[in-house]
A = this chain, B = another copy of it.
Amino acid sequence: MSCARGEHVHTLNVELRSRSYPVLIDAGILGRPGVLDPQLAARDVLIVSNTTVAPLYLPALSATLQSRRLVPVILPDGEAHKTLGNLSRVLDVLVANRFGRDCAVLALGGGVVGDLAGFAAASYQRGVAFLQVPTTLLAQVDSAVGGKTGVNHPGGKNLIGAFHQPAAVMIDTRTLTTLPARELRAGLAEVIKYGLICDAALFAWLEAHLDALLAGDPGALAHVIRRSCEIKAAIVGRDEREQGERALLNLGHTFGHALEAATAYKEWLHGEAVGAGLVMAAAMSQACGYLSAADAARVRQLVERAGLPAHAASVEPQALLEHMRIDKKVKGGRIRLVLLRAIGTAFISDDYPQGALRSTLAAHCGAARR
């Protein structure tokens, strides 16, 4: 990862040799003509967006991509629509418009749009160019960077997909002005995660500036977006295919994915499930004797202050455990978890007391909690 600050655009690079790419961050960059030209050779561009985002930002994006042939596909909004069926719909549009191998697919929206469009780009003609224009905080700080693409299966989150890096990520921080408060809070879950896995100073900064973030302060948001992208770009640059270190980014996600699957991707936003998952991972780390009660309490308090759920009333502990067993991080039948030794220090373990997992789930799931 390298970093440069131009006159206007803050640029990070994800360093992946021949597949390196820039993350461009700026307020108002979305409507700037030609800003993607260096990364976008294609004449034919399929823009995948959703019914919420397209009316807000498709016109400005179209101005940026002037003189290209743009074909939009507008999907319904929400995690429940990240399906093989909608992937097929996007592929149908590519074929119907006779897009060649030299086309590009551009995602304009949040993580759902980005993941699905990315998998379409990965699999159409065995791979075409892909660009990410994330418009939610969660996508800007996490899902748009790193090349994980895919769709959900009724049996589990992101079970079908590919690694396919974008040619560029363009983040317009101004798009957050139209983001619903619930979505903003969901995005903060991933920012908290970065602090927990490797940056205790970021975690403390969040404790100090959470109110500004929740109020939508542009400077505070720009700070966490830049820092999050820096951390993610560095980790992806060192471990693109999740052979090791990258798995730390899954802190809270084994719990979170299972929460989403157990509620059929309809009840929780991804970031909300991750928020509850972070609390569960901290409680599990405490139950195993790795994390102090004080640190576990700080995690829970920050998640709750961010307006994120810390328990799952509608999911029974046993049901959650069943869904965790099909997660991608299961290896040799054992559920691998990311656990915490301290705020800022995470590690991976599949060697923990099963009783600790059961008691953690029992304490954070089920109607009895309410």
Binding site for B on A (CB under 8 A): 43, 84, 88, 91-92, 95-96, 98, 100-102, 119, 122-127, 148, 150, 153-156, 158-163, 325-326, 328-333
Do the beta carbons of B155 and A96 come within 8 Å of each other? yes
Do the beta carbons of B331 and A102 come within 8 Å of each other? yes
**Residue from B84, B123, B156 in contact with A161 in the complex, judged by beta carbons closer than 8 Å:** B123
Do the beta carbons of B123 and A330 come within 8 Å of each other? no
Cα–Cα distance between A95 and B162 once the two chains are bound (Å)? 17
Do the beta carbons of A95 and B153 come within 8 Å of each other? yes
Shortest 10 CB-CB distances between A and B: which pairs? A95-B155, A100-B330, A125-B328, A126-B161, A123-B160, A98-B326, A95-B153, A84-B88, A101-B328, A102-B331
Beyond A88-B84, A331-B101, is A127–B162 a contact (Cβ under 8 Å)? Answer: yes
Do the beta carbons of A333 and B123 come within 8 Å of each other? no
- Complex interface: chain B residues within 8 A of A158 (CB): 126
Beyond A95-B326, A100-B332, A333-B100, is A123–B125 a contact (Cβ under 8 Å)? Answer: no
* A153: nearest chain-B partner, CB-CB: B95
Do the beta carbons of A159 and B333 come within 8 Å of each other? no
Shortest CB-to-CB span from A74 to chain B, Å, is: 21
Do the beta carbons of B159 and A162 come within 8 Å of each other? no
- Complex interface: chain B residues within 8 A of A88 (CB): 84
- Complex interface: chain B residues within 8 A of A155 (CB): 92, 95-96
Cα–Cα distance between A122 and B127 once the two chains are bound (Å)? 13
- Complex interface: chain B residues within 8 A of A122 (CB): 162
Do the beta carbons of A159 and B125 come within 8 Å of each other? yes
**Subset of 12 A-B contacts with CB under 8 Å:** A91-B160, A92-B155, A95-B155, A95-B156, A100-B331, A101-B331, A102-B332, A125-B159, A126-B158, A126-B161, A126-B162, A127-B163
Shortest CB-to-CB span from A40 to chain B, Å, is: 15
- Complex interface: chain B residues within 8 A of A160 (CB): 91, 123-124
Cα–Cα distance between A98 and B327 once the two chains are bound (Å)? 9
Do the beta carbons of A95 and B126 come within 8 Å of each other? no
- Complex interface: chain B residues within 8 A of A91 (CB): 84, 153, 159-160
Shortest CB-to-CB span from A22 to chain B, Å, is: 23
Do the beta carbons of A95 and B127 come within 8 Å of each other? no
* A149: nearest chain-B partner, CB-CB: B126
Do the beta carbons of B163 and A126 come within 8 Å of each other? yes
Cα–Cα distance between A153 and B124 once the two chains are bound (Å)? 10
Beyond A153-B95, A331-B100, A333-B100, is A162–B326 a contact (Cβ under 8 Å)? Answer: no
Cα–Cα distance between A159 and B123 once the two chains are bound (Å)? 8
* A88: nearest chain-B partner, CB-CB: B84
- Complex interface: chain B residues within 8 A of A328 (CB): 100-101, 125-126
Cα–Cα distance between A333 and B101 once the two chains are bound (Å)? 10
Do the beta carbons of B150 and A126 come within 8 Å of each other? yes
